[in-house]
Amino acid sequence: MKTEKPRVKSAEFVVSAADLKDFPRDGLPQIAVFGRSNVGKSSLLNSLMNRKGLVKTSGTPGKTRLVNFFLVDKRFYFVDIPGFGYAKAGGDVKRQMEAVIKTYVERETSCCGLLYLVDSRLTDSPVDIEALDWLAQSGRHLLVLATKTDKLSKSDTLKSLAAIRKTHALEMDPLPVSSLKKQGMEAIWEQLDLLLLGDPDR
Ligand code: GTP
Ligand code: MG
């Protein structure tokens, strides 16, 4: 069996922040992870960093309430953004967090790329349509992933990728990933490496 070199040597939780003033500002690049509540953002980060349980996950939507920063190899940050479309954290708290995220996406110069996760079984969610529309307008590099593909057959996964692409008018199919089965990680890392290098063609 092919053994892959571990991608990540060190990964550490740095800060959980509700406000922009508490976000790390040390000039290291940041890659932010977005998507509906429960889509698998935190699980994906654990899989990418190969650290079980470093990022808290849960079957209950709304687990991630604050913006969490993880420093990887002292080289860049993964930014775990609270899930969209979670109604229970209502009112002012939700609106305030939305404003923080909006400002982050529009202004943070260290943010070199966005990952947007779509559940592979939910190809036309209005929450995804609205969020992706907005994120695409930000002009940032945006990589769309289709999560939990272990729940679909191979042929249904292919259909789902095409449907997600069509719904959101994407230039490419989303990358299929399963954090459960650790599938798709290398393809994501290849794209992340390009983002982190600041590839001018992207
Ligand atoms: P919030 O923090 O609420 O926004 O959720 P999240 O997007 O961070 O999702 P999280 O990673 O906490 O996962 C939500 C649920 O989906 C958990 O029960 C996970 O075990 C499950 N899950 C995540 N990734 C996968 C996957 O690849 N396959 C399967 N089958 N389940 C997954
Ligand atoms: Mg989470």
Q: Where are the domains of the chain?
A: 11-196
Q: Are 144 and 116 in contact (CB under 8 A)?
A: yes
Residue 142 sits at φ, ψ, to 5 deg, of -130, 125
Q: Residues with beta carbon inside 6 Å of ligand 1? A: 35, 37-43, 57-59, 61-64, 82-83, 147-148, 150-151, 178-180
Tell me what pLDDT residue 61 has: 74
Q: What's the rounded Cα separation, in Å, for the pair 81 and 78?
A: 9
Centroid of ligand 1 to alpha carbon of 181 (angstroms): 13
| pTM to 2 decimal places | 0.94
Q: What's the rounded Cα separation, in Å, for the pair 62 and 88?
A: 8
Residue 26 sits at φ, ψ, to 5 deg, of -115, 10
Tell me what pLDDT residue 199 has: 58
DSSP state of 148: -
Q: How confident is the chain (202 residues) per 10-residue block, as mean pLDDT?
A: 74 95 96 95 96 88 84 97 72 81 93 97 94 92 97 98 97 97 96 84 51
Assigned superfamily of 11-196: P-loop containing nucleotide triphosphate hydrolases (3.40.50.300)
Tell me what pLDDT residue 110 has: 95
Residue 30: CB atoms within 10 A of its CB come to 20
